[in-house]
Amino acid sequence: MKYFAAVYLLFASLAVLAGVEYREFANPRQQEIYETLIKELRCLVCQNQTIADSNADLAADLRRQVHEMVQQGKSKEDIIRFLTDRYGDFVLYNPPFKPLTLLLWLGPLLFLSIGLISVFVIIRRKKTQAVAVLSAEQHEKIRSLLEEGDQS
Amino acid sequence: MLKYIVPFILFIILAVLLAVGLTLKPGDIPSPFINKPAPAFFAPKLDAPDVKLATVDLKGKVWLLNVWASWCASCRAEHPVLNQLAQQKLAVIVGLNYKDDPDDAKNWLARLGNPYTVSIMDREGRIGIDWGVYGVPETFVVDKKGIIRHKHTGPVTSEDVQKTLLPLIAQLLVENS
């Protein structure tokens, strides 16, 4: 009996630790909007976590805000606009494509092309060097050395 | 010679970029509210919860909104600076008591001094969300027309007051409402 009580208490305490938030939705569509949104919004306190992942107070408040707006029937775009109006684009994990974020989006492509071009240039340079370097005299020397090697 | 110059230039560029990176403050998120109207609030006063303060009540005045809480350690560090600023009576300082227990908040002010012309309560952090607050303390400067002109994230130091807040307040005071 004592054993069972101990096991029960162990699991009961785990449930408390998990701190699951219970949210109600009018329909599965709303739940879907809520769940995608909280994974796309950044917690501004702990900047590398989404508000779904974060335990920060502000993240909990923002989840509450998103939940309320979803329940009011607001669309995903409405809610995103509400939050970017207040916190700026930084609140979005997926930054929008606009002039200010051009380097962010195209940077990787830019660096890849710089890399590819450098590799191409280096290979070409090596090729031409390899051909030009040996004179007829040196070819002769190589052949004689190779023959010498064969004899021994 | 080129063999040495190119890596050297690349090194310099990298060093400059890293040096700039060191001076950036990733905690300072630019507020989208600069030069935009201050979000309206209508909130109970800390010392008289039955009376509410609205943003329209502050029209025609240069005012500061300082977000604070008794649980916030940096607010305590900032507090003497605000007390000093309040003594100069240049601008209205509105305290937004953010997610705090009213009794704790009142005790805090009684103990450390009250720099606020008035404090309003935001127990659920909703006004905070409206103002884009993400780290307490934060300080906004609002002009006579109700436009936010400046935001300071984190504790205000006396250097910030001298270099940024006082010149800005002086400038806003002579502007027409």
Q: Which residue among A62, A65, A88 sits closest to B31, beta carbon to beta carbon? A: A88
What confidence tier does A6 reach under pLDDT thresholds 50, 70, 90? low
At B63, list the tokens. 């005012």
Over its length of 177 residues, how does chain B's per-residue pLDDT go in tens digits?
A: 778 898 999 999 999 999 998 888 777 777 889 999 999 999 999 999 999 999 999 999 999 999 999 999 999 999 999 999 999 999 999 999 999 999 999 999 999 999 999 999 999 999 999 999 998 899 999 999 999 999 999 999 999 999 999 999 999 999 876
Question: Which is more confidently placed, A14 or B140?
Answer: B140
What confidence tier does A10 reach under pLDDT thresholds 50, 70, 90? low
Q: Do B124 and A61 touch (CB under 8 A)?
A: yes
Rounded Cα–Cα distance for residues B79 and B101 (Å): 18
DSSP characters over A3-68:
HHHHHHHHHHHHHHHHTPPP---SSHHHHHHHHHHHHHBBPSSSTTSBTTT--SHHHHHHHHHHHH
How many secondary structure helices (H) and strands (E) does chain A include? Answer: 6, 0
Whether the CB-CB separation of B165 and B141 falls below 8 Å is answered with yes
Whether the CB-CB separation of B55 and B63 falls below 8 Å is answered with no
Smallest CA–CA distance, residue B53 to chain A, in Å, is 21
Q: Which residue among A44, A65, A84 sits closest to B134, beta carbon to beta carbon? A: A44
pLDDT of residue A128: 76
* Range with lowest mean pLDDT among A88-97, A102-111, A130-139, B79-88: A130-139
pTM over 0.80: no
How many residues appear in chain A? Answer: 152
Whether the CB-CB separation of A96 and A104 falls below 8 Å is answered with no
Q: Do B32 and A86 touch (CB under 8 A)?
A: yes
Q: Which one of A46, A81, A87 would you mutate to disrupt binding with B, by most B Cβ within 10 Å of its Cβ? A: A87
Distance set, CA A145 to CA A130, A135, A139, A140, B7 (Å): 19, 15, 10, 9, 39
Chain A, residues 96-115, CB within 8 A of chain B, namely: none
Question: Which residues in A lie closer than 8 A to residue B26 (C-beta atoms)?
Answer: 47
pLDDT of residue A19: 54
pLDDT of residue A75: 93
Q: Beta B63-68 vs B92-98: how paired, if at all?
A: parallel
